[in-house]
Structure 1
Amino acid sequence: MLELIVSDMDGTLLDRNVHVHPQNAKMLMKTYNMGIPFIVSTGRNFTEAKALLDEAGIRCPIIGLNGAILFGRNGEVEYEVALPDETAKNIIKKGTAEGYYLEAMTSKNVYSSSKKERILGMTELIHRQNPDLSREECQQRATQSHEVNAIEYRDDLLDLIDKDHQNILKITVLHVDGQKVLNPLAEELKNEFKNIYTTSSFENNLEISRQGATKGDAIKKYCDDHGYNLENILTVGDNFNDVTMLEMAGYSYAMGNAEPGVKDVAKYETDTNYNAGVAKAIADALKRTQTI
């Protein structure tokens, strides 16, 4: 019996236009009516995720920021795992001094050090999903997107800690040269700060959170708290920040568009996010568990 469905968003639940694929929404309504609950597990924060879920008529708990925070169905924070203040400050100082573009996430919002860089990052993401579109079309979509206009821009991200007294849950470092630059930076940070966890959700970013703030940790805690058996849950994702939740689930699916290393971890493979891979993974798991 399938007890719980958990899905990543970008590259998974969302289609090439960064909306929930209609077939995915239809399947989730079907399983909801069957009594099988659904959770989103994403690198996004609550406001970023909720806008897209609302658009599709989906209301569910949200594991955000790669597992650093859990929001209930009504947006209340049920728990969070924050970076120590000094660790967060030192990472921000280092990234700023070395010229990286940085974003910091708290329970309240996403904060960016540069709107221009945020637009460039979103343009690249949209272009990867829609290679047939021109750069100009992708940039126009990015400029008008919720992901650009719903976040806050700060000249100094340290003010979040020193002046606003907010807990930093995740820091994202972005670089145009991708993992050939970011992988060495990740190793350098892990050697310097023993209490951090690093991962990536696409080629050009590095995501830094506290140890224990992974999607896998969050899902295990959620299942323990609600009495779900990990062997009877479905998880589906496409990138390396999904690996910890794919490793623990009885029914784990890598998207057809997933990174090769992610496919190696998952038990099964489904279709791409363009072709409603989440809906197809759920249909397959329902058959395997004889739920239908």
Structure 2
Amino acid sequence: MYKLIALDIDGTLLNTERKITKDVFNSIQEAKKSGAKVVLSTGRPLPGVTPLLNELNLTDDGDYVICFNGAVVQEVKSEKVISNIEMSYDDFKTIYKVVKELDTKVHINTPTNVITPHEVPSKYTLHEATLNQIPVVYKSEDEINDSITFCKIMIIDEPKKLEEILKVLPKEFFDNYTVVRSAPFFLEFLNKKANKGTALQALCENIGIDVEHTIAVGDEENDQHMIHLAGLGVAMGNARDSIKDIANYITKSNNEHGVAHVIDKFILKKI
């Protein structure tokens, strides 16, 4: 019996219109009523998830959320932090040196804002801030220091440019950080110990659920760790091929209520 389902948001929970369909909403409500935990697991900070948690009624005692691609796990109502794995100022300096060499752009995600060292922020930085309802703050390179909470660091650029950047990143970046694509224009760097899989493991240990009794559903590379770890790893029909390759099950697309299909089949046993 599956006791917890971890759901990615963009490309998974939300359809291409960035909406939760009626079928998905209803299945999530039924899953929660049945006693299953429904946990949103996302690269977003808490402010970017809160409207969805409210919409889905996932704000009671015992409801949890995974943010920043696994860097932060917390209880929703109390905002009590269960796990918090940050990066450092030294990490930023290392990554920013390469960013300048490759003529690309970067921003820092903190719990409350997006910090950019570029006087003219990337359109993708603005997209990130709008999506998550948080401000963009400009700080010169000299103003960025270890007083900042570095939740994650992102290189942002056109998809083709990021493909080229991935080919030339120093090998030690992959050794020292969790490096994931969360969108075609986002390349994310997290603490090596932080990913959606380690976050799911930490949550399960905290609330006493065997990870074999969990389902994880996603579509992008930043979902791979939790899909691999969960008792049932599910790829969306619209997922990258690399995610489909590691999944135990492939559901329908996000425009075909794929999350509802998973819940109905494996938790509610309707199918």
TM over 0.5, yes or no?
Answer: yes
**8 Å Cα contact 2:47-2:132 kept in structure 1:** no
Structure 1 residues 199-218: aligned runs within 5 Å: 199-218=180-199
SS of alignment partner, residue 50 of structure 1: helix
Structure 1 residues 1-292: aligned runs within 5 Å: 1-59=1-59, 60-74=63-77, 75-96=79-100, 98-113=102-117, 117-118=122-123, 122=127, 146-147=130-131, 150-156=134-140, 159-162=143-146, 165-176=147-158, 177-185=160-168, 187-188=169-170, 190-191=171-172, 194-286=175-267
Q: Structure 1 stretch 106-115 or stretch 59-68: which is displaced more?
A: 106-115
- 1:79-131 superposed Cα distances (whole Å, 9 cap, x missing partner): 31111321223323432454322121122333345675235874xxxxxxxxx
Q: Distance in 1 between matches of 2:156 and 2:181?
A: 10
Q: Percent identity?
A: 26
Alpha carbons of structure 1 residues 26 and 53: separation in structure 2 relative to 1, 3 Å: same
Gaps of 5+ in 2: none
Q: Distance in 1 between matches of 2:132 and 2:198?
A: 29
Alpha carbons of structure 1 residues 17 and 58: separation in structure 2 relative to 1, 3 Å: farther
Q: Which amino acid aligns with 2:112?
A: K
Alpha carbons of structure 1 residues 19 and 112: separation in structure 2 relative to 1, 3 Å: farther
Q: Which amino acid aligns with 1:118?
A: K
C-alpha RMSD of the superposition: 2.6
Alpha carbons of structure 1 residues 39 and 153: separation in structure 2 relative to 1, 3 Å: same
Q: TM-score, normalised by structure 2?
A: 0.87
Gaps of 5+ in 1: 123-141
Corresponding pairs, count: 265
Alpha carbons of structure 1 residues 156 and 70: separation in structure 2 relative to 1, 3 Å: farther
SS of alignment partner, residue 245 of structure 2: helix
**8 Å Cα contact 1:39-1:63 kept in structure 2:** yes
SS of alignment partner, residue 161 of structure 1: coil
Q: Distance in 2 between matches of 1:118 and 1:273?
A: 25
SS of alignment partner, residue 122 of structure 2: helix
Q: Distance in 2 between matches of 1:232 and 1:291?
A: 18
Q: Distance in 2 between matches of 1:111 and 1:52?
A: 24
Structure with the larger strand share:
2
SS of alignment partner, residue 19 of structure 1: coil
Alpha carbons of structure 1 residues 72 and 178: separation in structure 2 relative to 1, 3 Å: farther
- 1:168-227 superposed Cα distances (whole Å, 9 cap, x missing partner): 121110121244223124x31x42584311111122221001111010011011111211
Aligned equivalent of 1:138: none
Q: TM-score, normalised by structure 1?
A: 0.81
